[in-house]
């Protein structure tokens, strides 16, 4: 189906004003389809021709101002409307199909009890598969929903829901919403209700997760109420959308979606096993992130997808800031430095890099390709820098003015920056050009060739920009320890203090700017001795970001990086640091870059066990270290003992999550069979266990297992989005190259065809997860280049291959540089 183009959206927005939507859905039928009746009232400035968006299984009828339209004219999801003018009413009756890809009206079956659950995900262009609409962000309108459902179901949505009679639900008319915000959550959900400051709050989850949600409800609701109070204080505008539900729904693609009045979250955020502090912090920042959207994105919405970064960058910044300032979870900036920043830095160095703002997307699908670490992490870093430069008084005065000028409407980036300038920011055009409208990032390196060390900034030739970096440097002094000094780096080299000569130096230790940084040879050599005593977690994250960047760009020997991991992880105090280093050591260094992966795993395994033994009992650090030890274990007998409960630390429970981590590792080693995996699932069936079982089976070192995994890629096995990702993860395992070698060529040969069996987010996820990432060989890159030469390749597939091939190309360069 064609993607809506920017030009088409402009023409339709100039023509139409949508007054209201009235949508009736009948969900009390079979589990494949549902009835949808949509009444839309709109005014047209015509007469002119336009079209309505609707993607049904069967279009039963359409009547414009009482006159029937020819349903046979529906083509590619567009129903032509000819010569519309003045006030109009269109009524569309259709049979719609439930989806299982996390989009549209998704229907899932809980393996724990066989119950069915639905939820609506209307982003980016999925709304027309639920109801007829004019599907673009700048045609906002109020919505009224009427829903018939099985009598044991609960229904919530954007508007306050009341049960009129058993199985019949009426939802209050909403404030004006963009189509992509419309949601409905319906099923035998467990509900927790609360109230704060006049706002009715609700938490929803599958019935099988009820006890786990009840256990965490106080924490979730406390975070929610604290964030509401802080957002009200900062924004000066009360939450404007009535009730506030937070529904944890199955098989959700994103972390969450900010639907006004009813935010949907992936339900693994209802924790069923022990988790780390970082995982709880991530849930807290996700809650705050989606709450920030209620103002920035929902109250004021971008006109076109080009400005979607404003939604995400702003929510990312405010989510971290408000979580840090208003809740017990004070580590968001540390966790961002270890995790989210690396996501953005990697994205900003790829061939697919793009400006934070104004990416020039000509249609909706093209815009979706740039919904990445640049839109989130880099944009957030830029806004954090801007807020620091302007000060809170000017920053929030501009935001409040922006809300006032465009309340319940749409706006552009220019509108926001005008509000800031009007609030006293001064001319922001140069800053905007360098940081938001120019792609890629600077490299800041320490030059020790002279008597005094000098900082040198270089900018990519293909993306020239003049960016000034207000940051710090830290030098190590034998007597004083780490000494931090401010510095501003621009086009000219900056001389450091003479005291830095011959001393280890860490650049940007406080994570103040957005750039690549190097660790010079003197500092890298000294770091194994210094890292254990470095007690600032943000500085440690800066060190690791420089190391990971050096490994990625083949300037740091992976062997040196592994030695540093061995020195650092036994002393790492942040559980997200332990998790990040585990992934780096096992998934990057051992799996891709070092010539003896088994030896590399063994060295990391020993270091992880040292951290298990030294960590505080029952701490998140200990749990993260246990997980790392499981991922790197090579002895089935050891894993068997752990599976039986004889773990290497007291008070570590082998719960559902840890049990399946051990089973997946045993499967990879060929030390468990399908019968035992099935029995483990039958003993404790759950949605998570079902996905873990798929990954475990796909990880087995036999031909049948690899064909099982591959069938998820081709669509021959119908599976949920989570199961497809798990199958791709399990397919490629180091040490199984003889089994997986045929799938390298098969991937490139069969990739174009999967666009006929997968769609939306799942299509891109499948392309990424099944990419032959462990086939680190120039021949694999040749295969990628061959498939990319196809001009007709789906955009989502093209972006996935470009990014995965870039990562593989970096691994090839590293091997060429350091394998001896």
CA distance 178 to 409: 9
For helices 537-552 and 558-568, angle between their N-to-C axes, nearest 10 degrees: 160
SS3 296: strand
Query: pLDDT confidence of 359, banded at 50, 70, 90?
Result: low
C-alpha span between 12 and 44 (Å, rounded): 9
Comparing 197-201, 323-327, 497-501, 801-805, which segment has the lowest mean pLDDT?
497-501
Burial class of residue 47 (count of CB atoms within 10 Å of its CB; 0-12, 13-18, 19+): exposed
- Predicted confidence at residue 303, as pLDDT, reads 94
pLDDT at residue 181, as a whole number: 98
What pLDDT is attached to residue 813? 98
Does 815 lie in the same domain as 712? Answer: yes
Give, to the nearest 10 degrees, the angle between helix 687-699 and helix 674-683: 170
Cα 524 to Cα 532: distance, rounded to the nearest angstrom: 14
The dihedral of CA 420, 426, 429, 431: what is its sign? Answer: negative
User: Tell me: the pLDDT tens digits for 700-741?
Assistant: 999 999 999 999 999 999 999 999 999 999 999 999 999 999
Is 28 contained in some domain?
Answer: yes
Tell me the backbone φ, ψ of residue 738, rounded to 5 degrees.
-65, -35
Task: Render pLDDT for 548-560 as a digit per residue (tens, 0 to 9).
Answer: 999 999 999 999 9
> Pseudo-torsion of CA 562, 568, 573, 576, nearest 10°?
-20
Q: What is the pLDDT of residue 656?
A: 96
Exposure string for 214-240, b = 16+ CB within 10 A, e = fewer: eebbebbbebbbbbbebbeebbebebe
Give yes or no: residues 599 and 742 share one domain: no
Q: Which of 136, 168, 143, 165 is nearest to 155 (CA)?
A: 168
Question: Domain of 637?
Answer: 557-654
Residue 368: the pLDDT is 76
- Residue 609 included in any domain: yes
Across 661-776, the runs of DSSP E, i.e. the strands, are: none
Pairing of strands 256-257, 300-302: unpaired
Q: How distant, in Å, are the alpha carbons of 666, 709, 724 from that of 727?
A: 16, 5, 5
pLDDT per residue over 166-183, tens digit each? 999 999 999 999 999 999
Query: 148, 175, 202 — which closes off a domain?
Result: 175
Do 151 and 16 share a domain, yes or no? yes
Cβ atoms of 33 and 104 within 8 Å: the answer is no
For 507-538, what is each residue's pLDDT tens digit? 999 999 999 999 999 999 999 999 999 999 99
Q: How far apart, in whole angstroms, are the C-alpha atoms of residue 397 and residue 423?
A: 6
pLDDT tens column, 667-705: 999 999 999 999 999 999 999 999 999 999 999 999 999
Residues 758, 730 share a domain: yes
Contacts of 333 (CB under 8 A, 6+ apart): 320, 324, 511, 538
- The values of phi and psi at residue 404, to 5°, are -65, -40
Please check the confidence at residue 1 and state whether its pLDDT lies above 70. no
Burial of 392 (0-12, 13-18, 19+ CB in 10 A): exposed
Identify whether 214 is a catalytic site residue: no
In this structure, are 752 and 717 located in the same domain? yes
Report the distance separating Cα 443 and Cα 6, nearest Å: 35
Task: Specify the residue for token string 């409960």.
Answer: 645
648 has a pLDDT exceeding 90:
no
**pLDDT digit string, tens, across residues 368-411:** 777 899 999 999 999 999 999 999 999 999 999 999 999 999 99
What's the whole-number average pLDDT of the chain?
96
Predicted pLDDT at 479: 87
Q: Are residues 71 and 31 in the same domain?
A: yes
Specify the pairing of strand 244-249 against strand 199-205: parallel
User: pLDDT tens-digit profile of 740-749?
Assistant: 999 999 999 9
Query: Is 615 inside a domain boundary?
Result: yes
Q: What are phi and psi of 675, to 5 degrees?
A: -60, -45
Q: What is the pLDDT of residues 458-512, one digit of tens each?
A: 999 999 999 999 999 999 999 899 999 999 999 999 999 999 999 999 999 999 9
Question: Hey, what's the torsion of the CAs at 379, 122, 339, 560, to 10 degrees?
Answer: -100
Residues in the chain: 820
DSSP states along 374-441: IIIIIHHHHHHHHHHHH-HHHHHHHHHHHHHHTTTEEE-HHHHHHHHIIIII---HHHHHHHTSS-S-
51 and 91, same domain (yes or no)? yes
Q: Residue 150 sits in a domain of what CATH number? A: 2.60.40.1730
String of DSSP letters for 172-185: PPPSPB-GGG--EE
C-alpha–C-alpha distance, residues 252 and 250, integer Å: 6
Reference 304, options 631, 705, 11; nearest CA is 11
Would residue 626 count as lying in a domain?
yes
Overall domain count for the chain: 3
pLDDT of residue 87: 98
- The answer for residues whose C-beta is within 8 angstroms of residue 198's C-beta and 6 or more apart is none
Q: How far apart are CA 226 and CA 113, in angstroms?
A: 35
Domain boundary residue, one of 146, 175, 204? 175
Tokens 């990445």 belong to which residue?
372
Whether the predicted pLDDT of 46 surpasses 90: no
Does residue 124 have a cis peptide bond before it, meaning omega lies within 30 degrees of 0?
yes
Residue 353 falls within a domain, yes or no? no
Q: What would you report as the CA-atom Rg of the chain, rounded to the nearest whole angstrom?
A: 27
The pLDDT, as a whole number, for residue 584 is 98
Look up residue 697 and give its two tokens: 């089976």
Q: What's the CA dihedral at 398, 400, 401, 403 to 10 degrees?
A: 120
Q: Number of helices and strands (H, E) in the chain?
A: 28, 26
Per-residue pLDDT, averaged over 794-819, amounts to: 96
Q: Which two tokens stand for residue 375?
A: 């839109």
Distance in angstroms between the alpha carbons of the first and the last residue of the chain: 51
Domain stops at, among 590, 620, 654: 654
CA atoms of 543 and 345, how far apart (whole Å)? 14
Task: Retrieve residue 4's tokens.
Answer: 């809506």
Specify if 689 maps to a domain.
yes
% residues pLDDT > 70 (the chain): 100
pLDDT band at 360 (very low <50, low <70, confident <90, very high): low
Q: CB neighbours of 163 closer than 8 A, spacing ≥ 6?
A: 155, 169
CB contact at 8 A, 146 and 170: yes
**Residues 592, 636 within the same domain:** yes
Query: Do the strands 262-266 and 104-109 form a parallel or antiparallel pair, or are they unpaired?
Result: unpaired
Residues 680 and 778 in one domain: yes
Query: Distance (Å, rounded) from C-alpha 563 to C-alpha 556?
Result: 12
For residue 338, what is the DSSP state? I
- Residues 815, 721, single domain; the answer is yes
Identify the active-site residue in 103, 230, 279, 290: 290
Q: Is the pLDDT of residue 343 over 70?
A: yes
| pLDDT for res 308 | 85
262 strand-pairing partners: 245
Would you say 698 and 726 are in contact if contact means Cβ atoms under 8 Å apart? yes
- Tally of CB atoms within 10 A around 283: 24
Residue 548 counted as domain residue: no
CA 241 to chain centre: 25
Neighbouring residues of 811: CB distance < 8 A, sequence distance ≥ 6: 592, 593, 776
Q: Are residues 693 and 802 in the same domain?
A: yes
**pLDDT for the residue numbered 247:** 98
Q: Are residues 29 and 80 in the same domain?
A: yes
User: Which phi and psi (to 5°) does residue 16 adopt?
Assistant: -110, 145
Q: What share of the chain is helix, strand, coil (3-state, %, to 5)?
A: 50, 20, 30
What is the bridge-based pairing of β-strands 443-447 and 516-517?
A: parallel
Q: What is the model's pLDDT at position 199?
A: 98
**DSSP H helices in 133-243:** 210-235
Tell me if 260 is assigned to some domain.
no
Please work out, in degrees rounded to the nearest 5, the angle formed at the alpha carbon of residue 694 by the alpha carbons of 682 and 274: 70
Of 121, 365, 122, 370, nearest to 251 by C-alpha is 121
**Cα Dmax for the chain:** 87
Find out whether 338 and 576 touch, Cβ atoms under 8 Å.
yes
Q: HSE (CB half, 13 Å, CA atoms) of 641?
A: 8
């Amino acid at each position: 189906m064609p993607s809506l183009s920017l030009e088409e959206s402009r023409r339709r927005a100039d023509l139409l004003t949508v007054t209201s939507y009235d949508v009736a859905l009948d969900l009390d039928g079979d589990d494949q389809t549902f009835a949808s009746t949509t009444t839309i009232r709109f005014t047209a400035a015509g007469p002119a021709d336009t079209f309505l968006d609707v993607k049904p299984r069967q279009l039963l009828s359409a009547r414009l101002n009482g006159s029937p339209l020819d349903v046979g004219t529906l083509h590619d999801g567009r129903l032509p409307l000819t010569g519309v003018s003045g006030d109009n009413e269109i009524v569309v009756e259709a049979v719609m199909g439930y989806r299982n890809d996390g989009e549209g009206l998704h229907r899932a079956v809980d393996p724990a009890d066989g119950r069915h659950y639905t939820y609506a995900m209307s982003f980016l262009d999925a709304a027309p598969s639920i109801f007829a609409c004019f599907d673009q962000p700048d045609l906002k309108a109020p919505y009224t929903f009427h829903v018939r459902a099985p009598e044991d179901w609960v229904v919530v949505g954007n508007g306050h829901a009341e049960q009129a009679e058993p199985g019949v639900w009426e939802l209050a008319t909403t404030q004006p919403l963009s189509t992509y915000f419309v949601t409905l959550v319906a099923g035998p959900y467990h509900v927790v209700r609360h109230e704060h400051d006049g706002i009715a709050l609700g938490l929803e989850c599958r019935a099988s997760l009820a006890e786990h949600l009840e256990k965490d409800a106080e924490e979730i609701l406390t975070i929610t109420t604290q964030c509401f109070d802080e957002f009200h204080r900062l924004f000066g505008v009360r939450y404007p959308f009535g009730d506030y539900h937070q529904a944890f729904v199955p098989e959700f693609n994103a972390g969450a979606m900010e639907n006004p009045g009813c935010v949907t979250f992936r339900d693994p955020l209802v924790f069923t096993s022990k988790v780390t502090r970082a995982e709880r912090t991530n849930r807290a920042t996700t809650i705050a992130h989606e709450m920030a959207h209620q103002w920035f994105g929902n109250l004021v919405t971008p006109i076109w997808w080009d400005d979607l970064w404003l939604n995400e960058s702003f929510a990312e910044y405010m989510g971290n800031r408000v979580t840090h300032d208003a809740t017990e979870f004070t580590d968001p900036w540390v966790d961002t430095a270890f995790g989210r920043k690396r996501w953005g830095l990697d994205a900003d160095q790829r061939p697919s890099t793009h400006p934070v703002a104004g990416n020039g997307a000509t249609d909706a699908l093209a815009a979706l390709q740039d919904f990445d670490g640049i839109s989130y992490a880099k944009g957030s870093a830029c806004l954090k820098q801007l807020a620091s430069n302007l000060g809170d008084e000017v920053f929030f005065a501009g935001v409040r003015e922006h809300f006032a000028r465009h309340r319940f409407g749409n706006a552009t980036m220019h509108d926001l920056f005008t509000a800031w300038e009007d609030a006293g920011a001064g001319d922001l055009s140069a800053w905007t050009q360098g940081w938001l409208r120019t792609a890629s990032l600077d490299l800041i390196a320490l030059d020790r060739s002279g008597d005094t060390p000098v900082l040198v900034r270089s900018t990519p030739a293909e993306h020239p920009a003049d960016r000034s970096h207000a940051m710090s440097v830290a030098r190590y002094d034998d007597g004083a320890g780490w000494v931090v000094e401010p510095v501003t780096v621009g086009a000219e080299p900056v001389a450091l203090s003479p005291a830095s000569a011959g001393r280890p130096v860490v650049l940007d230790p406080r994570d103040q700017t957005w750039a690549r940084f190097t660790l010079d040879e003197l500092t890298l050599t000294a770091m194994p001795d210094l890292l254990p005593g470095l007690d600032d977690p943000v500085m440690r994250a800066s060190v690791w970001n420089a190391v990971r960047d050096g490994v990625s760009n083949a300037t740091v020997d992976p062997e040196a990086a592994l030695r540093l991991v061995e020195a650092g992880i036994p002393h790492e105090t942040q559980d997200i640091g332990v998790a990040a280093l585990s992934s780096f050591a096992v998934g990057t260094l051992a799996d891709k870059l070092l010539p003896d992966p088994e030896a590399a795993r063994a060295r990391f395994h020993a270091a992880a066990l040292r951290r298990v033994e030294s960590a505080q009992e029952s701490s998140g650090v200990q749990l993260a270290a246990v997980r790392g030890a499981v991922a790197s274990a090579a002895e089935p007998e050891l894993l068997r003992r752990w599976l039986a409960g004889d773990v290497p630390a007291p008070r570590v429970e082998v719960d559902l999550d840890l049990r399946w981590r051990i089973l997946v590792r045993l499967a990879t080693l060929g030390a468990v069979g399908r019968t035992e995996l099935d029995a483990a699932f039958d003993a404790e069936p759950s949605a998570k266990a079902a996905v873990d079982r798929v990954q475990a089976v796909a990880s087995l070192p036999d031909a049948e297992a690899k064909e099982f995994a591959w069938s998820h890629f081709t669509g021959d096995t119908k599976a949920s989005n989570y199961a497809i990702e798990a199958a791709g993860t399990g397919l490629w395992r180091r040490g199984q190259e003889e089994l997986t070698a045929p799938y390298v060529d098969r991937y490139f040969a069969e990739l174009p065809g999967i666009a006929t069996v997968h769609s939306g987010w799942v299509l891109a996820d499948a392309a990424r997860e099944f990419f032959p990432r462990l086939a680190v060989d120039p021949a694999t890159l040749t295969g990628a280049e061959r498939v990319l030469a196809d001009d007709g390749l789906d955009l989502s597939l093209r972006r996935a291959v470009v990014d995965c091939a870039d990562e593989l190309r970096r691994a090839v360069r590293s091997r060429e540089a350091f394998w001896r």
